[in-house]
Amino acid sequence: MIWLLPLILIGGLFFPLLGYLVLLMMVFFLILSYFKGRFWCSHLCPRGAFLDLVLSKLSLRKKIPKLFLSEKFKWFFFAAFMIFFIMQLLISPKTLFAIGFVFVRMCLITTIIAVFLGIPIQTRAWCSICPMGTLQGKISTLKKNRSR
C-alpha cells in the first residue's frame, strides 16, 4: 500500500479530490480496528510502509521518548490534531476540491512530522503518537470490554 502515500501527497497537490481517499481509508481502518485492533497500523498503513522501507535507512533508531508513550500525551496530541483539522475544515471554502485538499494537507503535515521524528529518534516514532492509531487502540478496547 506504499504507493498510496505518493499518490495522495503528490497527486493530491494537483488533484485535491484524491484527499477523499484519506477519508475513505480512515473510515475503513476505524471499522477494521473494532475487529482487528491496530491491524491497519502494522500491516496496511501506507505511511508506515514508507517509514519502514525508506526512512529506516536514515533513522538513528534511538529509544522513543517516554512522553510519546504516555496516554495523556497521546490524547492531548489527538485533541490538538482534531482541533487543527476541524479549524482547517471550517476556514476552507466549502467546495469538494477545497475540502479534499484539507485531507491532502493533513496527510502532508503528518508525513512531514513522521519524517522529522523518524530520523533523529526511531523510524516509527510517529506511530506512537499518531491520532488515528490512538483512536484505533481505543476502538479495539471497546470490543474487548463489550465481550466481557
What percentage of the chain has pLDDT greater than the value 70? 97
Q: Which residue stretches of the chain have pLDDT < 50?
A: none
Residue 64 sits at φ, ψ, to 5 deg, of -65, 130
pTM of the model: 0.91
For residue 62, what pLDDT is reported? 97
Cell of 35: 475487529
